[in-house]
């Protein structure tokens, strides 16, 4: 218990409405509530509140209001409340500040400075309700040219995977998220014809039936990896970096390694699962090439191999190396990408926004004439279908969504994933809490999300007079910037609004 | 047994005993490995590959083949990196030196090297055995782990270089520091076991405190551990055709056990 902290949130209870049913007490996993039987009142320990809103949502009489605590230090533009509280926490513990989810700092969100075009009079718009619209997307290397002979395609095809919509669920491991959440993602991806990514925590045997919708990860910890793991999936992804914490590894504490997680990761129960910062067999592009081809050998060249990095300053040069090393798909994860746990100082200060990284990587690969060698997937900061559309127009083939998918399962972005106490039952392994995600409802909500965004993307295509997502890919003429400086427009490769 | 079944059984038995000889001269690794896979799928189990010069990923693509633990590939020459990467069952025997990343993330099987091996041997290895007659390079045994009845074991006849057994989470590595001419002395190796949180390294010869990571403790092997060491030394002698009495020459008091002081080396680093 830290003594120098002000409660971050205030619990306001309308006593006229409260019926002392104690739902709030049972639902709160952060020990905010108690019941005083002598006086028949609920008591509050506000210092524990994380504003996940679980209690407020489930209160049957809407008696609770969780709001930001208005205690204030003397206003100071430099020493904000966050800085002061963080510093005091560190003075008491001597530890690295942990946090969850993606960067919450007000770095410029470029999606909000990009506007999409529409057709008027000439090149008429299309009504997606009446005309076919194509969202189908293929990921994998494209041949340099096609050769036809006697009406038959002669070029040897590189392996690829087919998506019904250019949206996939990003890597979230079983361990970081609960089994029910993980299974919901797998089933929803399978039902909708897209993909989910296992992350680096292995892949439970009973979910292998969703192999057609599964991308498996090979990360530095090599957890749960054997030849079946690769060959039961449809694509293998080498994880080098993650947008939320570029350049560092992962660490699942032993207390989260339950019996089933231990089986899935193939490590002893209760032992720490530590992912080293680098892959120790990759110290160069040549080494990366070696692992890419080891995975191709291990899967008999039947599936594309993907490489994921976080968006860093020299991402374009690294991406070029990745493509030349034989990656069929490259994934760039931006500054705002989420995580189950990361040092706060890294999450908030390391990396660059995905919009800029995406445009720069796409430019570089085009300039070098190797854009067709690999598909480009981006993630980290996609919030709605408009962001997806803009990402594709900037040059992406598809996107991964992580945080939005968790929100469909109940997440309210309280950023406490690292505590393992998620009141919504998502980032926890506590059986009392994990029951809160019902896999059937979770699957339905995720499928709904994919369906809703796909319909909206079709609307955006139709208003621009376009009937296929392929025609938007890298079509930056569809975009205009607003409130951007010239250098930003140059990096994004778009013109300003009105130009 | 019907006549046709008997004929099939005879054919299978013939296939499992016949040695397939391959000449790797000028052969691209992909073609070489495909050839081995195709013959293994036909039912052949013994392979002799000659003139191997740097072909990578030998033994990696033998996924899904029945009885793959009976596959035995004898390799003459110098195989390339990632030999036996992700391997799950077969035995590879190299009559020569091996390159880097041997047995990378290996799950099951056996690798025998009648010479020295390069860097990153046994990275992320979960099961199986690797025997190296001579020395190994840098970053060997990083993040080895064990699970249930799988305890990966690496036996090194000579010595090793820096960053040995880093992040080690399970399994055992035995360094005999013997049987090989011109070993670099053990004291040249630094950062042994940095970040170690499981498993054991047994080293014959003195290891100074400044050579090991802060997370590593030095102790004497227990009686039980000594039995395991003896067993693997006997196996080492057997695979390399050394006389058994060599085992007796190894004095128990020369062996030190390096292991993690804590299963949670980074447990107290964070503010919640």
CA angle A357/A485/A314 to nearest 5° reads 25
Residue B126's nearest CA partner among B66, B199, B64 is: B199
| Residue B98, pLDDT score | 97
Question: A284-338 pLDDT, tens per residue?
Answer: 999 999 999 999 999 999 999 999 999 999 999 999 999 999 999 999 999 999 9
CA B122 to chain A, closest CA, distance in angstroms equals 10
| A107: in domain | no
| Residue A157, pLDDT score | 78
CA A378 to chain B, closest CA, distance in angstroms equals 28
Residues of chain B positioned with their CB less than 8 A from the CB of A300? 37, 61, 63
| A375: in domain | yes
Whether residues A448 and A371 share a domain: the answer is: yes
pLDDT of residue A19 exceeding 70: yes
| A69: in domain | yes
| Separation between Cα atoms, residue A472 and residue A483, nearest integer Å | 23
Residue among A47, A92, A222 with most chain B CBs within 10 A, to mutate: A222
Asked if B139's CB is within 8 angstroms of A290's CB, the reply is no
Residues of chain A positioned with their CB less than 8 A from the CB of B144? none
Q: CB-based contact (8 Å) between A267 and chain B?
A: yes
Selecting from B105, B124, B270 the residue whose C-beta is nearest the C-beta of A95 gives B270
pLDDT of residue A253 exceeding 90: no
CA B124 to chain A, closest CA, distance in angstroms equals 6
CA B249 to chain A, closest CA, distance in angstroms equals 36
Whether residues A31 and A153 share a domain: the answer is: no
Residues in CB range of B8: below 8 A, 6 or more apart: none
Listed residues A29, A62, A95: the one ending a domain: A95
Asked if B268's CB is within 8 angstroms of A227's CB, the reply is no
Count of domains observed in chain A: 2
Strand A250-252 with A273-275, pairing: antiparallel
| Separation between Cα atoms, residue A201 and residue A171, nearest integer Å | 10
Asked if A281's CB is within 8 angstroms of B197's CB, the reply is no
For tokens 């994880």, what's the residue?
Answer: A239
Asked if A226's CB is within 8 angstroms of B104's CB, the reply is no
* Average pLDDT along chain B, 272 residues, taken 10 residues at a time: 80 85 96 96 95 96 92 97 96 97 96 96 96 94 93 94 93 85 66 92 90 92 94 92 74 90 74 72
Asked if A298's CB is within 8 angstroms of B86's CB, the reply is yes
Whether residues A336 and A464 share a domain: the answer is: yes
Q: CB-based contact (8 Å) between A249 and chain B?
A: no
Question: A222-241 pLDDT, tens per residue?
Answer: 999 999 999 999 999 999 99
Whether residues A141 and A218 share a domain: the answer is: yes
Which pLDDT band, with edges at 50, 70 and 90, does A122 fall under? Answer: confident
| Separation between Cα atoms, residue A199 and residue A215, nearest integer Å | 8
For residue A62, give its domain range.
9-95
| A378: in domain | yes
| Separation between Cα atoms, residue B91 and residue A418, nearest integer Å | 43
Listed residues A95, A125, A150: the one ending a domain: A95
Whether residues A83 and A212 share a domain: the answer is: no
CA B185 to chain A, closest CA, distance in angstroms equals 24
Intra-chain end-to-end CA distance of chain A, in Å? 58
Find residues 193-212 of chain B whose CB sits inside 8 Å of chain A.
Answer: 195, 197-198
Compute how many other C-beta atoms are within 10 angstroms of the C-beta atom of residue A461.
23
Question: A146-193 pLDDT, tens per residue?
Answer: 888 898 888 777 999 999 999 999 999 999 999 999 999 999 999 999
| Residue B252, pLDDT score | 85
Whether residues A386 and A483 share a domain: the answer is: yes
| Residue A23, pLDDT score | 96
Q: CB-based contact (8 Å) between A97 and chain B?
A: yes
Whether residues A416 and A311 share a domain: the answer is: yes
Residues of chain B positioned with their CB less than 8 A from the CB of A298? 60-61, 63, 85-86
Asked if A291's CB is within 8 angstroms of B120's CB, the reply is no
Asked if A271's CB is within 8 angstroms of B263's CB, the reply is yes
Whether residues A75 and A214 share a domain: the answer is: no
Q: How many CA atoms lie within 13 A of B46 on its CB side?
A: 8
Asked if B61's CB is within 8 angstroms of A297's CB, the reply is yes
Whether residues A149 and A63 share a domain: the answer is: no
Listed residues A39, A74, A95: the one ending a domain: A95
Whether residues A181 and A58 share a domain: the answer is: no
Residues of chain A positioned with their CB less than 8 A from the CB of B268? 95
Question: With pLDDT > 70 as the criterion, what percentage of chain A qualifies?
Answer: 100
Asked if A266's CB is within 8 angstroms of B126's CB, the reply is yes
Asked if B167's CB is within 8 angstroms of A274's CB, the reply is yes
Q: What is the 3-state secondary structure (H, E, C) of chain A?
A: CCCCCCCCEEEEECCCCCCCCCHHHHHCCCCCEEEECCCCEEEECHHHCCCCCHHHHHCCCCCEEEEECCCCCCCCCCCCHHHHHHHHHHHHHCCEEEECCCCCCCCCCHHHHEEECCCCCCCCCCCCCCCCCECCEEECCCCCCCCEECCEECCCCCCCEEECCCEEECCCCECCECHHHHHHHHHHHHHHCCCEECCCCCCCHHHHHHHHHEEEEECCCCCCCCHHHHHCCCEEEEECCCCCCCCCCEEECHHHCCHHHHHHHCCCCCCCEEECCCCCCCCCHHHHHHHHHHHHHHCCCCCCEEEEEECCCCHHHHHHHHHHCCCCEEEEECCCCCCCCEEHHHHHHCCCCHHHHHHHHHHHHHHCCCHHHCEEEEECCCCCHHHHHHHHHHCCCEEEECHHHHHHCCCCCCCCHHHCCCCCCCCCCCHHHHCCCCHHHHHHHHHHHHHHHHHHHHHHHHHCCCCEHHHCCCCHHHEEECCCCHHHHHHHCCEECCC
Selecting from B86, B120, B167 the residue whose C-beta is nearest the C-beta of A227 gives B86
Phi-psi region of A483 (alpha: psi -120 to 50; beta: other; left: phi over 0): left
Q: CB-based contact (8 Å) between B101 and chain A?
A: yes
Residues of chain A positioned with their CB less than 8 A from the CB of B272? 93, 95, 98, 418-419
Q: CB-based contact (8 Å) between A164 and chain B?
A: no
| Separation between Cα atoms, residue A53 and residue A63, nearest integer Å | 12
Are the C-beta atoms of residues A325 and A292 closer than 8 Å to each other? yes
CA nearest to A294 within chain B: B57
CA B239 to chain A, closest CA, distance in angstroms equals 26
Asked if B124's CB is within 8 angstroms of A221's CB, the reply is yes
Whether residues A169 and A80 share a domain: the answer is: no
| A116: in domain | no
Selecting from A98, A225, A276 the residue whose C-beta is nearest the C-beta of B270 gives A98
Q: CB-based contact (8 Å) between A345 and chain B?
A: no
Q: CB-based contact (8 Å) between B27 and chain A?
A: no
Which pLDDT band, with edges at 50, 70 and 90, does A92 fall under? Answer: very high
| Residue A5, pLDDT score | 83
Asked if B269's CB is within 8 angstroms of A225's CB, the reply is no
Compute how many other C-beta atoms are within 10 angstroms of the C-beta atom of residue A107.
15
| Separation between Cα atoms, residue B2 and residue B5, nearest integer Å | 5
Are the C-beta atoms of residues B173 and A275 closer than 8 Å to each other? no
Q: CB-based contact (8 Å) between B28 and chain A?
A: no
| Residue A11, pLDDT score | 96
Size of chain A in residues? 499
| Separation between Cα atoms, residue A427 and residue A258, nearest integer Å | 14
Look up the CATH number of the domain holding residue A206. Answer: 3.20.20.70
Residue among A89, A226, A339 with most chain B CBs within 10 A, to mutate: A226
Look up the CATH number of the domain holding residue A29. Answer: 3.30.70.20
Question: A426-449 pLDDT, tens per residue?
Answer: 999 999 999 999 999 999 999 999
pLDDT of residue A204 exceeding 90: yes
Residues of chain B positioned with their CB less than 8 A from the CB of A416? none
Asked if B266's CB is within 8 angstroms of A251's CB, the reply is yes
| A4: in domain | no
Asked if B126's CB is within 8 angstroms of A226's CB, the reply is yes
Asked if A97's CB is within 8 angstroms of B271's CB, the reply is yes
| A118: in domain | no
pLDDT of residue A1 exceeding 70: no
Give the gyration radius of chain A's Cα atoms: 24
Q: CB-based contact (8 Å) between B82 and chain A?
A: yes
| A127: in domain | no
Whether residues A27 and A155 share a domain: the answer is: no
Segment A364-392 mean pLDDT: 97
| Residue B179, pLDDT score | 60
């Amino acid at each position: 218990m830290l003594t120098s902290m002000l409660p971050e949130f205030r619990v306001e209870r309308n006593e006229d409405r409260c019926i002392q049913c104690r739902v709030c007490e049972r639902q709160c996993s952060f020990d905010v509530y108690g019941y005083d039987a002598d006086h028949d009142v609920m008591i509050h320990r506000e210092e524990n509140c994380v504003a996940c809103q679980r209690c407020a949502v489930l209160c049957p009489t809407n008696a609770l209001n969780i709001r930001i605590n208005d205690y204030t230090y003397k206003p100071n533009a430099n020493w904000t409340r966050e800085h002061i509280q963080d510093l005091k926490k560190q003075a008491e513990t001597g530890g690295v500040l942990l946090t969850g989810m993606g960067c919450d700092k007000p770095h410029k969100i470029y999606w909000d400075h990009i506007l999409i075009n529409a057709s008027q009079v000439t090149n008429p718009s299309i009504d997606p309700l009446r005309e076919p619209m194509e969202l189908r997307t293929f990921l994998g290397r494209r041949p340099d040219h096609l050769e036809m002979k006697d009406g038959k395609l002669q070029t040897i095809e590189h392996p690829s995977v087919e998506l019904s919509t250019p949206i996939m669920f990003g890597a979230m491991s079983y361990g970081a998220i609960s089994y029910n959440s993980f299974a919901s993602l797998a089933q929803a991806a399978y039902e909708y014809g897209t993909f989910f990514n296992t992350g680096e925590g292995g892949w439970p045997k009973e979910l292998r039936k969703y192999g057609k919708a599964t991308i498996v990860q090979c990360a530095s910890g090599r957890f749960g990896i054997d030849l079946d793991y690769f060959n039961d999936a449809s694509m293998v992804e080498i994880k080098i970096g993650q947008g939320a914490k570029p350049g560092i590894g992962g660490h699942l504490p032993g207390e989260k390694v339950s019996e089933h997680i231990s089986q899935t990761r193939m490590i002893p129960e209760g032992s720490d699962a530590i992912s080293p910062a680098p892959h120790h067999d990759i110290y160069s592009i040549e080494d990366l090439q070696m692992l890419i081809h080891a995975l191709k050998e291990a899967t008999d060249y039947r599936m594309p191999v993907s490489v994921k990095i976080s968006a860093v300053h020299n991402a374009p040069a690294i991406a070029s190396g990745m493509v030349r090393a034989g990656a069929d798909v490259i994934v760039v994860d931006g500054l705002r990408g989420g995580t189950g746990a990361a040092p706060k100082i890294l999450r908030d200060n390391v990396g660059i926004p995905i919009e800029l990284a995406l445009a720069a990587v796409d430019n570089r690969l085009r300039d070098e004439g190797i854009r067709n060698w690999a598909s480009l997937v981006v993630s980290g900061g996609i919030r709605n279908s408009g962001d997806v559309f803009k990402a594709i127009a900037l040059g992406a083939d598809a996107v991964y969504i992580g945080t939005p998918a968790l929100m469909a399962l109940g997440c309210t972005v309280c950023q406490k994933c690292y505590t393992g106490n998620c009141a919504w039952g998502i980032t926890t392994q506590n059986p009392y809490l994990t029951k809160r995600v019902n896999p059937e409802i979770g699957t339905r909500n995720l499928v709904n999300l994919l369906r809703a965004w796909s319909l909206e993307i079709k609307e955006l295509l139709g208003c621009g007079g376009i009937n296929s997502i392929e025609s938007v890919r890298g079509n930056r003429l569809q975009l205009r910037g607003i409130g951007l400086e010239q250098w930003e427009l140059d990096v994004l490769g778009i013109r300003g609004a009105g130009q | 047994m019907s006549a046709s079944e008997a004929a099939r059984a005879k054919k299978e038995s013939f296939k499992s005993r016949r040695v397939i000889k391959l000449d790797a001269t000028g052969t691209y690794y992909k073609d070489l490995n495909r050839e081995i896979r195709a013959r293994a799928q036909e039912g052949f189990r013994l392979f002799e590959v000659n003139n191997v010069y740097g072909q990578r990923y030998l033994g990696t693509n033998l996924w899904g083949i029945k009885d793959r633990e009976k596959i035995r590939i004898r390799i003459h020459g110098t195989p390339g990196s990632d030999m036996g990467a992700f391997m799950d069952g077969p035995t590879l025997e190299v009559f020569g030196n091996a390159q880097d990343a041997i047995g990378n993330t290996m799950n099951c099987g056996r690798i025998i090297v009648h010479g020295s091996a390069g860097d990153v041997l046994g990275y992320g290895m979960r099961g199986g055995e690797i025997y190296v007659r001579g020395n190994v390079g840098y970053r060997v045994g990083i993040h080895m782990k064990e699970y249930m009845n799988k305890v990966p074991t690496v036996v090194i006849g000579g010595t090793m270089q820096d960053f040995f057994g880093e992040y080690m989470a399970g399994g055992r590595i035995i360094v005999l520091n013997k049987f090989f001419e011109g070993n670099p002395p053990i004291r040249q190796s630094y950062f042994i076991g940095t970040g170690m949180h499981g498993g054991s390294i047994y080293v014959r010869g003195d290891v100074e405190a400044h050579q090991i990571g802060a997370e590593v403790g030095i102790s004497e092997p227990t009686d039980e551990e000594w039995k395991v060491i003896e067993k693997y030394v006997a196996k080492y002698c057997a695979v390399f055709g050394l006389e058994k009495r060599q085992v007796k020459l190894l004095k128990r008091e020369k062996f030190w056990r390096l292991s993690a002081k804590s299963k949670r080396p980074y447990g107290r680093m964070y503010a919640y």
